[in-house]
């Protein structure tokens, strides 16, 4: 078989086909952010090329350049872009924010006065690498949404997509050419950072005691999510990479809540992607075994994550391949912690070889880890991952 480009190799596997060799594209977002200081598309692409990976690039993952300002997750949206400055795209909403800088964290006290009422929250956000990891997430001391009475006000906190980034997408696609896949990524959905409107225990209790509140938040956020995904699809993106890790069974949700509340929302995004002749990849770094059949029935083209049994996940890669390999492509299946963070050349080589044996037969498999590679992983191990993939993963 003739050698394929990175994009050809990835797209063939995502469609369930047999490429020239098994694609290998670990999530390098954390590694690049920690070692290069920036995890934008260009830094990620540069790192993929350096190590010899196939480039699968979610659109501005974990950067300030989100397709639309996310005022739920990030206190000021994550950036200052607006001709009217920060919060300038929340038309009709008055904002008061107090910021208290402390040694280990920053405390944000916010109040939004919307045409439908007031919302207030308090966020305590740890600084990186001072005891809470390289990319700590916010800790809510007071939730933004307290009851169903807040739902109408919440609708005003989701602005339209940023036109500067929307206009950049065709340029990025042209620059990447046939060497990389650019995937649409948006994290305002409840499966990603939308859960941040609640306290962790509050959202789980709502699934039992206040279903209208949970469903109301999910509806508002998925409406905004669909608008953002559509804006990227209209610019020529051919893969949607949708993260639903916060709706994982690992978080504590029941299987009934997943099937009855979250799955219909996921299906909406799948249908939107397919209406643009694009592929849909869903990511979940937790337990997936009991929902794989749901995702296959819903029409997902690929499942990403597939964290192994005993290390936070519950997926036996060979079993997933046997049961679903003819219906969905698989991406992942390798644990990042014991294989890379605490591993060595031998653990990386062995895990790569085993994953290929378990899932590569017949195509439709992409080598990846269950979650992001940490900044502490040595370059030697990343080079080894790419080399082992090329050594063991070639199709005859």
Mean pLDDT of 379-384: 98
Nearest to 288 by CA among 321, 316, 257: 316
The number of residues making up the chain comes to 396
The three-class DSSP label of residue 377 is coil
**CA 149 – CA 346 distance, rounded (Å):** 56
- pLDDT tens readout for residues 222-281: 999 999 999 999 999 999 999 999 999 999 999 999 999 999 999 999 999 999 999 999
Is the pLDDT at 77 greater than 90, yes or no? no
**CA 4 – CA 20 distance, rounded (Å):** 6
- Give one DSSP letter per residue of 285-308, joined into a string: SS--TTTHHHHHHHT-SEEEE-PB
| Interior angle at CA 285, CA 281 and CA 290, nearest 5 | 85
At 240 the pLDDT is 98
The three-class DSSP label of residue 157 is helix
Tokens 């643009």: give the residue.
Answer: 276
At 86 the pLDDT is 83
In the chain, domain spans: 6-67+160-392, 94-144
**CA 189 – CA 223 distance, rounded (Å):** 9
Domain 6-67+160-392 is in which class? alpha beta
Q: Do 280 and 296 form a contact (C-beta atoms < 8 A)?
A: no
Is the pLDDT at 193 greater than 70, yes or no? yes
Is the pLDDT at 81 greater than 70, yes or no? no
At 61 the pLDDT is 81
**CA 343 – CA 348 distance, rounded (Å):** 7
Burial label, 338 (beta-carbon count in 10 A; 0-12, 13-18, 19+)? middle
Q: Do 248 and 285 form a contact (C-beta atoms < 8 A)?
A: yes
Q: Count CB atoms within 10 A of the CB of residue 119.
A: 22
**CA 142 – CA 130 distance, rounded (Å):** 23
Mean pLDDT of 166-186: 96
At 108 the pLDDT is 97
Q: What percent of the chain has pLDDT over 70?
A: 98
Sheet holding 94-101, edge to edge: 94-101, 105-114, 117-126, 139-142
Task: Give the DSSP letter of residue 394.
Answer: B
At 80 the pLDDT is 56
**CA 125 – CA 120 distance, rounded (Å):** 16
Mean pLDDT of 193-212: 95
Mean pLDDT of 155-181: 95
User: In this structure, is the dihedral angle defined by the CA atoms of residues 282, 283, 284 and 289, taken in order, positive or negative?
Assistant: positive
3-state DSSP helix/strand/coil percent for the chain, to nearest 5? Answer: 40, 20, 40
Chain centroid offset of residue 77 CA: 18
| The token pair that represents 150 in the structure block | 């807040």
User: In this structure, is the dihedral angle defined by the CA atoms of residues 361, 366, 367 and 368, taken in order, positive or negative?
Assistant: negative
User: In this structure, is the dihedral angle defined by the CA atoms of residues 169, 170, 176 and 179, taken in order, positive or negative?
Assistant: positive
- Give one DSSP letter per residue of 302-329, joined into a string: EEEE-PBBTTTB-B-HHHHHHHHTTTSE
């Amino acid at each position: 078989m003739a050698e394929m480009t990175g994009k050809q190799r990835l797209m063939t596997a995502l469609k369930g086909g047999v490429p020239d060799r098994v694609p290998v594209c670990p999530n390098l977002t954390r590694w690049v952010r920690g070692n290069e200081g920036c995890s934008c598309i260009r830094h990620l692409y540069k790192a993929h090329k350096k190590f010899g990976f196939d480039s699968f690039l979610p659109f501005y993952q974990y950067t300030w350049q989100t397709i639309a300002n996310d005022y739920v997750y990030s206190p000021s949206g994550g950036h200052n872009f607006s001709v009217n400055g920060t919060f300038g795209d929340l038309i009709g909403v008055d904002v008061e924010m107090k910021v208290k800088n402390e040694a280990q964290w920053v405390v944000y006290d916010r109040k939004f006065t919307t045409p439908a009422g007031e919302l207030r929250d308090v966020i305590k956000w740890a600084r990186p690498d001072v005891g809470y990891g390289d990319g700590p997430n916010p800790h809510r001391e007071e939730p933004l949404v307290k009851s169903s009475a807040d739902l109408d006000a919440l609708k005003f906190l989701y602005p339209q997509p940023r036109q500067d980034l929307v206009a950049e997408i065709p340029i990025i696609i042209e620059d990447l050419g046939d060497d990389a896949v650019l995937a649409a990524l948006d994290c305002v959905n409840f499966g990603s950072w939308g859960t941040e409107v609640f306290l962790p225990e509050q959202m789980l209790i709502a699934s039992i005691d206040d279903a209208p509140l949970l469903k109301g938040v999910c509806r508002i956020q998925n409406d905004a999510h669909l608008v953002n995904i559509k804006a990227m699809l209209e610019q020529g993106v051919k893969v949607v990479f949708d993260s639903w890790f916060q709706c994982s069974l690992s978080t504590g949700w029941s299987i009934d809540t997943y099937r009855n509340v979250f799955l219909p929302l996921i299906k909406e995004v799948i249908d939107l992607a397919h209406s643009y002749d694009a592929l849909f990849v869903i990511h979940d770094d937790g337990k997936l075994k009991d929902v794989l059949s749901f995702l296959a029935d819903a029409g997902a083209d690929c499942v990403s994550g597939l964290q192994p049994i005993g290390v936070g996940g519950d997926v036996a890669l060979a079993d997933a391949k046997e049961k679903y390999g003819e219906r969905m492509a698989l991406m992942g299946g390798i644990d990042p912690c014991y294989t890379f963070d605490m591993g060595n050349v031998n653990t990386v080589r062995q895990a790569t070889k085993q994953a290929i044996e378990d899932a590569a037969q017949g195509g439709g498999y992409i080598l990846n880890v269950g979650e992001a590679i940490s900044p502490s992983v040595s370059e030697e191990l990343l080079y080894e991952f790419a080399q082992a993939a090329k050594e063991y993963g070639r199709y005859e």
